[in-house]
Amino acid sequence: MKKNILKLLFASVFFSSIALVPAKSYAAGTYRFCANWAYIFSDKGVGEDYLTYGSGSSYGLLPAFTAWGAVNYNNTRVFNGPLDANGCTAAITANAGTYTFMIYPRFSYGGTTKIDVYPDSNQQWTYWQTQRSLPGSSSGATTYTDNLGGSPIASVAAVATWIMAWWAYNDVNYLPGSSPYIIYATQDGCQGPTGYIGGRTVKLCKDNSGIWKAYRKFIIGHEMGHAVSDVLFGNPTIDNYTMYSTAALCRCDHVTSSNNYHCIQSQHAISAAEGEGWAQFYSMNLFNNPSDGSAWFGYYKEFLQNGTSCKNGTCWPPPVPLPLSLDVLWMNTNCPTSNSYGVEADWASFYWWVKNQGSSNNYSFGNIAGVYYTACGNSSCAGDTVLWSSLRNAANTIYGTGSSKAQFWLNTGAQKGVNHSTE
C-alpha cells in the first residue's frame, strides 16, 4: 500500500514537471548571436600589420573571439560560454520570443580563463547587452551581429582578444601561467607613471593630456609584456630608472606627454633597458607579422632625433613610427657605451630579431625565458641585474658553444649592439 502511494506521488510530480516545460518547439531554423569589437586606436597605421583600419574609417572591427557570451531566451539562459573564432555563440533553436545577448570582457578558451578586463580595481564587470524580439524561424540559420565600441574598454577588449588568438593558435607563452591576467582599462585618478603594477595586473590610466591609454594598443601590449615576462622569467631590476648619460639623445628631458622616468632612447642600467625593451618587443610582436621581416612600433612618447625631427626644439609627437626591426644601435651611436648600461630600443630590436629572424634558430618566448633562467643561476631573474656576458654564457650552456643556435644569439647581440661585456 505504502509503495503504491509513493508511486502515485512520483507520478504526480513527474506529470506536473512535464506541465512546467515550455511548449515544444517545431522550429527547424537556428539563431546565432555574434559580436565584433569596434576598436579605436590613436597609434594605428604606423606601418604595423594588425589591428589597423583605413584612414577613411573611424574604427576597426575584430570578432570578439574568446569573449564570454550569454544568451537568455525569455529569461532562460540558453547559451553561456566563450564566443568562437567568428565571435559567435553556438546555434540556438529559432523559437519566437525575446532574446537577450550579453558579452563580458572575460576571455576564455578551451576551458581556461586567461584575461579579465575590468573598468578599474573595483573589479565590477562592464558588459554589453542587446535585446531582440524575434518572430521564430522555421527554416535556415539567421545571424545577428553587434558591433561593440565607442568606449575605451572595447578597445582594450580588442587587444585582449588579439593576444588570446596568439595564445590559442601560436604559442601558449603569449600568456604563460595558469591564473588569469587582469587589466583595469580605465582606472581613474592615476594620471602619469602607471601601467604595469606587478604580478599579472595592468592598470591603464590617462596620459598627461587626458587621453585614455586604452586608445593606444602599443601601450596595452607593452604593459602586458611586463606581466608576461614576470611570469616567464621574473622581471630584472629597473634600478629606479636612473639615467647615466648627460647626452640629450640618451635622456627623456624632452618627454612631456607621459612620465619621463624612462623612454625608448634613454640610457639606463642594463636590466632596466632589458625589461622595458622586452615590453616594447612584446607589444611590437603582437601587431606585426613575424615572417615579413619588418616590424613597426607606434611609440607613445615624444622622440628626439638629432637635427631632423627636433628642429626649433620640437620633437616628434606621439605616436612616433619606429622601425625597430632595423638595427637601431642607439647606445653605440649616441651614448657612452658600457657593459652595465643599455637602451630599450636596442634590446627591443634584439629580442624581436632573435625570436623571428633566425629561421630554425629562432628563440621562442620559452627559449628566451630559458636563457634568462640559466643566466640567473637556474632561478627567477626577479630583481636581478643580468649582464650580456651572463646571457651569452647561458645560450652557450643550453645550446652548446659554437652551435648554430647559440651563435645566432651571439651574432644578434653584436648586430643590435647589446653585446657589451668586459669578458
List of residues contacting Zn ion (CB under 5 A): 276, 279
Residue of 71, 110, 103 whose CA lies nearest to 87:
103
Q: At closest approach, how far in Å is the CB of 282 from Zn ion?
A: 10
Distances (CA, A) of 271 to 3, 51, 59, 339: 79, 30, 37, 11
Rounded Cα distance between 276 and 273, Å, is 5
Residue 269 pairs in a beta bridge with: 341
Look at the block and give the residue holding cell 593606444: 216
Cβ distance to Zn ion smaller for residue 250 or 279: 279
Grid cell of 119 as nine digits: 573598468
For the bound state, the minimum distance from the C-beta of residue 413 to Zn ion, rounded and expressed in Å, comes to: 22
Residue identified by cell 637556474 is 378
C-alpha cell at 197: 603594477
Q: Can you tell me the distance from the alpha carbon of 191 to that of 259, in angstroms, rounded to the nearest whole number?
A: 9
Single-letter amino acid code for the residue at 196: Y
- Residue 200 phi/psi, 5-degree rounding, is -115, 25
| Of residues 83 and 220, the one with the C-beta less far from Zn ion | 220
Q: Which is nearer to Zn ion, 95 or 283 (CB)?
A: 283
> What's the min distance (Å) between Cβ of 357 and Zn ion?
24
Give me the residue whose beta carbon is nearest to Zn ion.
Answer: 279
Please tell me the number of Cα atoms within 13 Å of 300 on its side-chain side: 31
Q: Which is nearer to Zn ion, 193 or 336 (CB)?
A: 193
Nearest distance in Å: CB 386, Zn ion: 17
Residue 337, Cβ neighbours under 10 Å: how many? Answer: 14
Which residue's CB is nearer to Zn ion, number 117 or number 279? 279
Q: Are 85 and 138 in contact (CB under 8 A)?
A: no
Residue among 103 and 263 whose Cβ is closer to Zn ion: 263
Q: How far is the CB of 278 from Zn ion (least distance, A)?
A: 9
**Gap between the Cα atoms of 281 and 275, Å rounded:** 10
Nearer to Zn ion, 214 or 395 (CB): 214
Q: Which C-beta is closer to Zn ion: that of 101 or that of 282?
A: 282
CB of residue 43 to Zn ion, shortest distance in Å:
15
Residue 60: CA count within 13 A, CB half-sphere:
21
Residues in the chain: 423
Least CB distance to Zn ion at residue 238 (A): 9
Distance of closest approach, residue 59 Cβ to Zn ion, in angstroms: 27
